[in-house]
Chain A
Amino acid sequence: MISIRVEYGSAKMAEEERIANAEKLKEKANTHFKEKDYENAIKYYTEALELNSSNAIYYSNRSLAYLRTECYGYALADATRALEIDKNYIKGYYRRATSNMALGKFKAALKDYETVVRVRPNDKDAKMKYQECNKIVKQKAFERAIASDELKRSVVDSLDIENMTIEDEYTGPKLEDGKVTVKFMKDLMQWFKDQKKLHRKCAYQILIQVKDILSKLPSLVEICLKETEKITICGDTHGQYYDLLNIFELNGLPSETNPYLFNGDFVDRGSFSVEVILTLFGFKLLFPDHFHLLRGNHETDNMNQMYGFEGEVKAKYTAQMFQLFSEVFQWLPLAQCINSKVLVMHGGLFSEDGVTLDDLRKIDRNRQPPDSGLCFLLWHKNGRSISKRGVSCQFGPDVTEHFLKQNKLQYIVRSHEVKAEGYEVTHSGKCITVFSAPNYCDQMGNKGAYIHLRGSDLKPEFHQFTAVPHPNVKPMAYANSLLQLGMM
C-alpha cells in the first residue's frame, strides 16, 4: 500500500514539476513577446506546450505571436485549440476573430465577436470590433451585389522593363527586337522541354504585351471561318506541358493556316504550368488573330493559390510576376463564337433563361469572378450533381436547347470536366465537352482530345491522344497532386 502511494506521489510530483517548468517557459516566451522577438516567443510557447498541452493560455498567447508574424493559419489553429480546451476563455474568441479577419473570413470573425459581446455586454472594445466587422461584412455583400470594379494599380506601372538586364551567362531564348518570332517560339519550347527557365525580363515582356492585346478584345470574341479554313479546339491542359508539346506534334504547330483555340484551365495541378502558359501566351502574340485563349475557372486567384500555379510562379520567379499573371488572366475573353453558330466557353451555360450573346459581349470581365453571372461561364458543370458549395451547379438539356434557339446557335463546346475518352457529346449533340489533359493528375488514366472544326460544315471531328512521359519533378511548395500516389 505504502509503496503504491509513493509511486503515485512521485508520478504526481513529476507532473507538478512539468507544469511548473511549462509556466517558466511561458514567462520566458512572454518576455520575448514584450521585446517584439516573436520568433523566440513562439519557440518558448511551443516548448511550454510540449510540457503542458492542455493549457488554453499558452495556445492563446502563441496565437497572438503568430498573428504578429502574419502566420494567420497557425494563429487560427491555436485560437481554435484554446477554445477547444476552454470554451469560456474569452481571449480565445478574440484571437480567433482576429485570425479570421486577417484571413478575410469576415463572417466567421463576426460570429466570434458576437459571442464576446454577448458574454461581456459592457466591454466597449468588443462592441467596437463587432461593429467594425459587421460593417465590413455588409460592405462586402453590397460590393458583390453591385458587382462593380475598384481601380487597382497595375504591376506594369512599377516595372522598369527597359532597364532590366539579361546577364551574359543566360543562353536561353530572347525576344527579337522586343518581339516574339517563330524562331523564338521554337527555341522557347525546346528550352522549356529541357526544364530550363525563361529569363524573367522576357517573361515580363510577354506578359505586358499579352495583357495589352487581350484587354482590347471583347468578352465575347467572334470569328469567321471561311469554307476552306479549319480550327482546332483544345480543352483543359492544366500545366501538362509535355502533353501540350505532344498536341503540337500530332496536330502541327500553330500558324495562320493552323489556328487553335484553347478553352481555359491552362495552369494548376500539373507542375509545368509556367511553361504551358508562357508558350500559349507566346503563340498569342505571334498569331493574335489565329491563336485564341479563353478564361477558365483556374485562371483566377483562388484556384491558383490552392492548386499550385501561384506557388510555381513564386518558386520560379516572384510574387510580383504572379500578380501580373493574375492581371493578365482577368483580361482573357470569356467566350468565343464561331461563324455565329458554335459557342465555346470553359464552364458552361447559365442557370437562368434569357441570356443572349449580347449579354455576354457586355460582361465586364476585368476582375475576379463573383458568385454569379461571369462565374457560370467559367464554372458551370454539365449533368448530375448540384454542388452545395458556391457557384458550381448543373445546366440541363432544356437550358441548352433554349439558349441555342434564342441565340440561333447550333451547339456549344465547353471543357472543365475530365472525361475518360477526352471528350463527350451530350444533350443530343448540342453540348460537347473537350478535355485535353490526358492521364489527369498522373492518376485518372483518361485520354485527351481535341476537336477539328471546318468552316465548310462546322461538324466537330474528334481526335484522341494518350499521355506522354514527363520529367519526375519534385512537388512544389504549394502543391501539385502529381506525385500523390493515393492514400497509402
Chain B
Amino acid sequence: MASRLPFTDSDAADEAVRATCDDASSCKRFATSKGYWSDPYIQYFVRQAGERKAPEINRGYYARVQGMSHLLEAFIRRTEGNCQVVNLGAGLDTNFWRLKDGNLLPKKYFEVDFPMIVARKIHNIKTKPPLSKSLIETHSTDSLMMDGHSLDSDRFCIVAADLRDVLDMEDKLKKFQLDPGLPTLFLSECVMVYMTPEQSSRLVRWASDTFHTAMFINYEQVNMADRFGQVMIENLQRRQCTLAGADTCQSLDSQKERFLNAGWESADALDMMTVYGLLPQEDVARIERLEFLDEKELLQQLLQHYCISWAFKDKLRLGLSQVAF
C-alpha cells in the first residue's frame, strides 16, 4: 500500500468496508462460542469471543452460514469435487478448512480480498499450526508458497486484489492456475453491496464471460427501500460505510436481474426468512433453544432484509439447476 499518498475519502470508504470483515468474524466467533454451529478454526482468526451479540444477530448469522454452506456443498457434490471455488471478498472465512474436514474439497479453493486483509490472513495461517496443517496435508511438497500478499498451495490459494479491477484480479488468479475450463463456483458474502452497480456488474459479467459452466452465489441486503432499510443505510453512513450498491438491493427481482443482465442463464433469489424456513428444522429448533429471543419481530425484520441470490450457466449440463434450496 502506498504510504506517502494522502488518505482520501475513497481510502476511508475502503477502510470502512475492510472493517466489516471484523464485524462478520466477531459475530461468527460469538455465535460459534454459543454453540450455534461448529467451527473449530475461527478461533485462530478471532482470538476472543468478544462482546455478546443479540440473539437475533446470532440467529441471522446461523441462517447465513447454513444457507451458504448448503449451496456450496451441493455444488461440490454435484460436480463430484471436479470444480473450483472462488470466494470473492473472503475475509477471514474458514470454509476451506471445514470442507477439508468434511472431505468435500474442490480441486482448488481460491480466496480474494484486499491486500491488508490477505496479509492478516496469511500471517494467521503461517503462525497457527492447526491452520497450516490442513494446507500442508493437501499439498504435494511440505513447503507452501507464500509472501505478504499471496499464498499458493495445491488445493488452496489466497490472492490480494481489488475486486473492482477485474482484469488485474483475473491476471493474479490465472497465475495460480485458475482454470476457466473447470466448473467454478463464485461466492460473495456482503461484498458487492459496497461497490457501485457498475463495478459489481463488471465482476459478475467477467465471471459469466470467462467460465462456461459456473455458479455465482451472493449473500447481501435486499428490500432496502423500506423504513428498516433506510435506517440501516443511515446507521452505516454514520460509520462512514456507504452501501454504494444499494440500488441492486431493492428487491429479489433486482438481485436476479443483475445476473440475467450479465450473461447468466438463470437466476434465483430468496430472502433469509424463507431460507430460515427451508433449513433443517430440527437443527433450527435446537439453536432456538440456545438463547431466548424476546422479540421475534427483530429477527423477522433482519431476515427479510437479507437474501441469498444465485445464478448459473451449465454448458456441461451438470444439472446445476438442482443446486438450490
Identify the A interface with B (CB < 8 A): 7, 10-11, 14, 18, 50-51, 53, 73, 77, 80-81, 84, 268-269, 297-298, 302-303, 306-307, 311, 385, 387-390, 417-418, 420, 439-446, 472, 475-481, 484-488
**B99 smallest CB distance to A (angstroms):** 17
Contact between chains at A443 and B235 (CB < 8 Å): yes
Contact between chains at A478 and B52 (CB < 8 Å): yes
Distance between Cα atoms of A7 and B160 in the complex (Å): 29
Q: Quick check: is B198 within 8 A (CB to CB) of the other chain?
A: no
Distance between Cα atoms of A247 and B285 in the complex (Å): 39
Contact between chains at A487 and B64 (CB < 8 Å): yes
**B33 smallest CB distance to A (angstroms):** 7
Given contacts A306-B55, A389-B289, A478-B52, whether A442 and B235 have CB atoms under 8 Å apart is yes
Distance between Cα atoms of A32 and B190 in the complex (Å): 45
Q: Quick check: is B141 within 8 A (CB to CB) of the other chain?
A: yes
A481 and chain B: residue at smallest CB distance: B54
Contact between chains at A307 and B294 (CB < 8 Å): yes
Main secondary structure of the interface of A (DSSP, over half): loop
Distance between Cα atoms of A476 and B236 in the complex (Å): 20
Residues in B whose Cβ lies below 8 Å from that of A306: 52, 55, 291-292
A12 and chain B: residue at smallest CB distance: B142
Bits for B42-80, please: 1 = Cβ < 8 Å to A, else 0. Answer: 000000000111111100110010000000000000000
Contact between chains at B302 and A487 (CB < 8 Å): yes
Contact between chains at B57 and A484 (CB < 8 Å): yes
Contact between chains at B129 and A51 (CB < 8 Å): yes
Q: Quick check: is B166 within 8 A (CB to CB) of the other chain?
A: no
**A146 smallest CB distance to B (angstroms):** 24
Residues in B whose Cβ lies below 8 Å from that of A480: 54
B301 and chain A: residue at smallest CB distance: A444
Residues in A whose Cβ lies below 8 Å from that of B57: 481, 484, 487
* B192-237 at interface with A (beta carbon < 8 Å): 221, 226-228, 230-232, 235-236
Q: Quick check: is B297 within 8 A (CB to CB) of the other chain?
A: yes
Query: A444-B231, A487-B64 known; 8 other A-B pairs, CB under 8 Å?
Result: A306-B55, A389-B289, A439-B231, A442-B231, A472-B238, A479-B51, A481-B57, A485-B232
Residues in A whose Cβ lies below 8 Å from that of B145: none
* B281-325 at interface with A (beta carbon < 8 Å): 285, 288-289, 291-292, 294-298, 301-302, 305-306
Contact between chains at B288 and A7 (CB < 8 Å): no
Distance between Cα atoms of A478 and B238 in the complex (Å): 23
Interface centre among B51, B190, B221, B239 (most CB of A within 10 A): B51
Contact between chains at A389 and B288 (CB < 8 Å): yes
Task: List 7 A-B pairs, Cβ < 8 Å.
Answer: A84-B38, A298-B294, A472-B238, A479-B52, A486-B221, A487-B27, A488-B24
A53 and chain B: residue at smallest CB distance: B130
**B216 smallest CB distance to A (angstroms):** 20
Distance between Cα atoms of A77 and B39 in the complex (Å): 12
Contact between chains at B38 and A481 (CB < 8 Å): no
Residues in B whose Cβ lies below 8 Å from that of A268: 294
